A and B are shown apart, each in its own frame.
Chain A
Amino acid sequence: TQLLEQSPQFLSIQEGENLTVYCNSSSVFSSLQWYRQEPGEGPVLLVTVVTGGEVKKLKRLTFQFGDARKDSSLHITAAQPGDTGLYLCAGGRNNDMRFGAGTRLTVKP
């Protein structure tokens, strides 16, 4: 059982559509991070959220940390083919990070 559950596991949409992916846990985290990973490469950090209820925007991407610091969401507005990739959330607690299994997003032109 994953400590962090991500949904959906796969998502295929058309260019221009909006989407939201989720990262849920029963554990409380001191911080939560979102990464994007492209085939054959390592994950690249998108954002870190640390305060319950925090919302951060990165161009067309909006990240929210749940009030109880147990869950997070990533919303993409007007998705583009360049958004295609594996989106991973990671929660920090004690001295280590735990990753979810990821949402694999495909944006078709």
Chain B
Amino acid sequence: NAGVTQTPKFQVLKTGQSMTLQCAQDMNHNSMYWYRQDPGMGLRLIYYSASEGTTDKGEVPNGYNVSRLNKREFSLRLESAAPSQTSVYFCASSEMSVSAQYFGPGTRLLVL
């Protein structure tokens, strides 16, 4: 089992460009999450999907959209990237909401 995989690993964007971060899990988990991690801020929840077919805003959703494509895949889209979105993005999954989360290796995004 690969667990949680994320692509790409690194990305450099110019301000205003768009991109989609991909996440997939092979653990048959119901819930999936997108976080961003910035120095001194810990992990902040962007969006989550408690189950297939549902998505909800987290703590910092502005500037992002998500799609729960199926039970395995949960993508994060930046429609018009801004320098404030420079961060490390982590996808995670769990069997159900508020249970143990399993994280991917992260995507390092730099917006110039």
A contacts, CB < 8 Å to B: 2, 6, 9, 30-31, 33, 40-45, 48, 88, 90, 92-102
- Nearest B residue (CB) for A2: B42
10 extra interface residue pairs, beta carbon distance < 8 Å, beyond A33-B101, A43-B101: A31-B98, A44-B103, A45-B101, A90-B43, A95-B48, A95-B98, A96-B98, A97-B98, A99-B44, A101-B40
Would you list which residues of chain B between 57 and 112 have a CB under 8 Å from chain A? 58-59, 90, 92, 97-106
Number of interface residues of B (CB under 8 A): 26
Select one of A9, A41, A96 contacting B58, CB under 8 A: A96
Cα distance A48–B94 in the bound complex, in angstroms: 13
B92 and A42: CB pair below 8 A?
yes
Would you list which residues of chain B between 22 and 55 have a CB under 8 Å from chain A? 33, 35, 40-45, 48, 50
Question: With a CB–CB cut-off of 8 A, which chain B residues contact A44?
Answer: 103
B contacts, CB < 8 Å to A: 4, 33, 35, 40-45, 48, 50, 56, 58-59, 90, 92, 97-106
A41 and B106: CB pair below 8 A?
yes
Cα distance A61–B85 in the bound complex, in angstroms: 36
Question: With a CB–CB cut-off of 8 A, which chain B residues contact A95?
Answer: 48, 50, 56, 97-98
Question: With a CB–CB cut-off of 8 A, which chain A residues contact B40?
Answer: 9, 101
Closest beta carbon of chain B to A50's beta carbon, Å: 10
